Amino acid sequence: MSTAGSLTINNARLHQRIEELAQIGKLGDTGVCRLALSPEDLQGVILVKSWMEQAGLEARIDAFGNLIGRLEGKASGKPILMLGSHIDSQPYGGRFDGAIGVLGALEAVQTLIELGEQPEQSIEVVAFCDEEGSRFNKGLFGVRGMTGKLEEGELEREDANGVTRREALLTFGGDPSRFEADQYPAGAIGAFLELHIEQGPVLDARQEPLGIVTGIAGPLWLTVELTGFAGHAGSVPMPMRRDALVGAARIITALNQLARSEAGAPTVGTVGALTVFPNSRNIIPEKVTFTVDLRDIDMARRADRERQLRNVLEEVCIEHGLTYAVREDTNNEARFCADWIREIMRDEATRLLGNGHAPTELMSGPFHDSLALSYVCDYAMIFVRCKEGISHNPLEYAAPRDIELGAELLYRTMVRLCKG
C-alpha cells in the first residue's frame, strides 16, 4: 500500500518528457507555439508516439489527427478506459497546458506495464488533435471527430494564411476518407480521465497542489461582423458617420458589463480577436469582425446574457447605421463529472495528500477534451495548481511536485477503475 505522498510513477521520466516536448515550438525561454496540424505539432506527436511505443503501447495516428496508444486488456470486448489530453498549443502558450495530461497519462500506463499488470479492459492514451481551436477558430476537432460530432464545413475552415483544415490534416497524416471508419461506436468508451493544469487561480489561492473537477462550464463562441461605410477621416462629419469600429467598441464594452452584472457568478465574457477593414488611420472603419467567448456553468444565466448581448447588438447597429451578421462557432452546455469516479478520486487524493486532507473540488471555466467525451461516456478530471492562475501565456507554470501528485492521482484512479 502506498503511503501518503509516496509515488508509484517515475517522476524523473515524466519531467524529462515534459521538458523535451517543450523544446518543440519553443517560444522564448518558457513558452511554446505548436499550432494544431502545424509542422511543430506533428513533430511533437511523432516524439510522443515514440515514447508510447517504447512503453509497450501500440501507437497510431488516426484519420482525425489524434495520436492513440493502446494497451490491450484481458477482456478486449469490454468498453475501453481512455486517458489523455492534447499537445497542440495557443500561439502564445505555455509548456504545461494539455501536455501534462498526455504525458501524465502515458506515465500512468507505463507504470502499470512496468509493474507487470494487465488491466481487465483495454486502456488508450490519446493526444487529441486541435483541442485549442486557435488556428481554425473551432476547437475539440479530434475528439469530436472520433465521437462522430463534426459539423458541416469544418474541413473548409481556413487559418490566417488561407490554409484549410483539410489541407493541413492531409499534410499531418490524417485522412478525411477514413473518418467514418475511425469513429468509435456507441458504448466503446467506458470512461475518460483527464489531467490538466487548472488555468485559474483557485488552487493557488488556497495553496492546494491539486483539485478534483466538478464540471465544465458551457462555452458559447460567436463571430460577429459589423458593416458600416468607409469615408475620409478628415471630411465626414461625426453625425453622418457609419463607423463599424465605434459600434464594435460599444458591443464589446457591453459584453464585459453583462459578464460582470451578477456579483459572485462565474460568468465570463471575452473578445479575443478583432479585425478592422480597411485598417488605415485616416479611413473610417467600414467592417469589423470580432469573436465573442461567453461561458457559464448555469445555462439559463448564459442564455440570458446572450439574449441581452444580441439586444445590444441590434440597438447599436440601428443607432450607428450598421448591418450585422452573427455566426455561431461553438455552443456546448455545461457538463458535470461522474460522481462515482469523483468518489474514487476523492478517496485516493485523501490518501495521497495525507492527514485526512480532503482535496479541493472546483468547476472548470475552460473547456477540455473531456467536454466532448462527456456526451459518450462518464468522465472525470484532475486539476494541478497553476501559479497565479496564468495560462495561455509563456509565464504559465506548474510546480514539479504538483504535477507529480496529479499524475500519481491519475495512476491510482486508473488502477481502481481497472479493477472495478
Which residues are annotated as part of the binding site for Zn(2+)?
86, 97, 132, 196, 392
Cis peptide leading into 278, omega within 30 of 0? Answer: yes
Contact present, 44 and 69 (Cβ < 8 Å): no
Cell of 349: 487524493
Q: What is the three-class DSSP state of 219?
A: strand
- For Cα atoms 196, 386, 135, give the angle at the middle one, nearest 5 degrees: 60
Contact present, 405 and 2 (Cβ < 8 Å): no
- Given CA atoms 301, 307, 311, 317 in this order, what sign does their dihedral have? positive
Cα distance from N-terminal residue to C-terminal residue, the chain: 18
Sequence letter at residue 29 = D
Nearest to 68 by CA among 79, 57, 81: 57
Separation of alpha carbons 191 and 174, rounded Å: 25
φ and ψ at residue 134, rounded to 5 degrees: -75, -30
Cell of 7: 509515488
Separation of alpha carbons 350 and 399, rounded Å: 20
**Residue 177: how many other CB atoms lie within 10 Å:** 9
Separation of alpha carbons 274 and 276, rounded Å: 7
φ and ψ at residue 168, rounded to 5 degrees: -65, -40
Contact present, 404 and 11 (Cβ < 8 Å): yes
Partners of 276 in the beta sheet? 288
- How many residues are present in the chain? 420
**Residue 3: how many other CB atoms lie within 10 Å:** 8
Contact present, 10 and 404 (Cβ < 8 Å): no
Cell of 223: 463571430
Separation of alpha carbons 121 and 191, rounded Å: 11
In the annotated binding site, the residues are 86, 97, 132, 196, 392
Angle of helix 11-22 relative to helix 99-114, nearest 10 degrees, comes to: 140
